Structure 1
């Protein structure tokens, strides 16, 4: 698997090398998802804005749909500067940044409204994670934290209406201890599977349940193998825009400021697009793809999970992050 990933990355970058522009800085931007998705809208915005406002000094090539590999491998390559930037979910970065696991805690936020005021650029939360990047020597810089929609539950063979419906189901989780602990607390059996392998895992019965943003669910056509969608809205999908330190240090100060500001603007767009997609996608998934949608009583889910949040954060070593995010 590792060799195939390296080979695929090498081929993709070799192809891109034959088409690079005459710009001073040619930046390769990774996303894991297929369109329509806020991450790809954000990437397109960054490409357009950086190329225009730099007067052609910067050129951006977007590699979406995981063309350059899965997120953990891409993060490693950012450290070497072989990939320049990425836009993705924080949960997929939990191997290198375990503290990001706090964002998969259910019902930590009340909704999308005002989310950037809590976690976005200039907040104590973003400053905290900027320092974590630096202290861990990750070889990359956090440009912005944002949110790209609610995350909901989908299953392969039965609808979910109550907590009892979850018991014993094999639940796909990313490599995040918080996810595993959360779904275990609801009586499910967590199985860690990479996003790129999820379709096959659902199709073959390795897992029978998964959770994701609605654009992620739709864009990856997961409704084909998990056609029962429960609108649990248990978490907000928190995303990060990160850049390689190698790349950042090559940029002159004026272009560093431009990249930073463009990432902030892209995050604002991402929130807007996420709200739009969430409202539109439920209708289209039902009408166009026959998805069977249920509306579980989220108050029951909250009542089950909120009392154990602090205990859960302590168990997985995220008490500091929990206190930071819940501070009044």
Structure 2
């Protein structure tokens, strides 16, 4: 039987379409949606990109990863709720935004728990007793998520309107902006400061008018909100290491075969290490920009003196906030 050239072309086109369809099906065997709340450049988005690349390559195309940054899928509390249903698969964010669902995360807002981001990673990273503890907390709280990794993603530092900070004594008598948090108020009162509760959106005006004379924040927050215009004295106290969590929906996790679970877990762990390095780089670059482009006066106080003031208060705060188990674990 003779097959016409047109028939051969039609057959070839059909086979090609089937091949492409099969490839598409393989690629879409699993689709994972990753949420972050932040805009780039930011360590969380770098971590998401790293996870995407590693998961897609290691799975041989069986998994497609889609990243939704800048809060496209909603604010963190709503996203945590969605993850319980499996409609969002993975989130990378700060632990402080999950305190409502996981109160134990409140321990990470305590100043000087860690001396550096590297130390934070050593204490809370995958494979540590702290990580295992919070894995269990997730289960006990029934949040519908599995913890993949905890890590560090930047420092919080002090800035003031008029005073250059070099030692704890320089803080005495200053009106210190705090959020509505007992831990924050008691922390800064220990230095002889006068805590003043001010919302973040009102902070610029509060310092400009003298309602507050000092504040603390992440370096991206300080820069992005142009707070250097009203509080141009930056002290790199690094009193808080921001701890982030990478979590996956339990619904999603339970649907994945064991080999893909291992791939996702490994990708989260390697991205966690990358996040710390990126955070250190971003902080250093922002300090340079603040000095060279915005005329900010930067000091680097001896953190030991600040730690000594707060050491007795840490145990008291942990007991008051029912976080003694977490505090003890972190101090081991």
TM over 0.5: yes
Q: Secondary structure at the match of 2:118?
A: coil
- Show structure 1 runs of 4+ deviating over 6 A: none
Shift of 1:270: 0.9
The 5-angstrom pairing of residues 222-237 of structure 1 reads 223=228, 227-237=232-242
Give the alignment partner of residue 189 of structure 1, picking from 192, 195, 198: 195
Shift of 1:281: 2.1
Give the alignment partner of residue 300 of structure 2, picking from 295, 314, 322: 295
1:157-211, Cα deviation, whole Å (9 max, x unpaired):
43451545464635243x7654454245443436485xxxx3x322343984543
Matched, 1:326 2:331: yes
CA contact (8 A) 1:33 1:216 kept: no
Tell me the residue number matched to 2:4.
none
Which is greater in Rg?
2
Taking the aligned partners of 2:122 and 2:272, their CA distance within structure 1 comes to 12
Matched, 1:158 2:165: no
Matched, 1:74 2:79: yes
Tell me how large the CA RMSD over aligned residues is.
Answer: 2.7
Q: How many residues align?
A: 300
Shift of 1:220: 5.9
* Distance of aligned partners of 1:242 and 1:221 in 2 relative to their CA distance in 1, 3 Å threshold: farther
* Distance of aligned partners of 1:258 and 1:319 in 2 relative to their CA distance in 1, 3 Å threshold: same
Tell me the residue number matched to 1:38.
43
Matched, 1:84 2:89: yes
Shift of 1:271: 1.4
Taking the aligned partners of 1:228 and 1:319, their CA distance within structure 2 comes to 35
Q: Which runs of 5+ in 1 are unaligned?
A: 1-20
Matched, 1:243 2:248: yes
CA contact (8 A) 1:150 1:214 kept: yes
1:56-94, Cα deviation, whole Å (9 max, x unpaired):
222222222233333222222221223221111112211
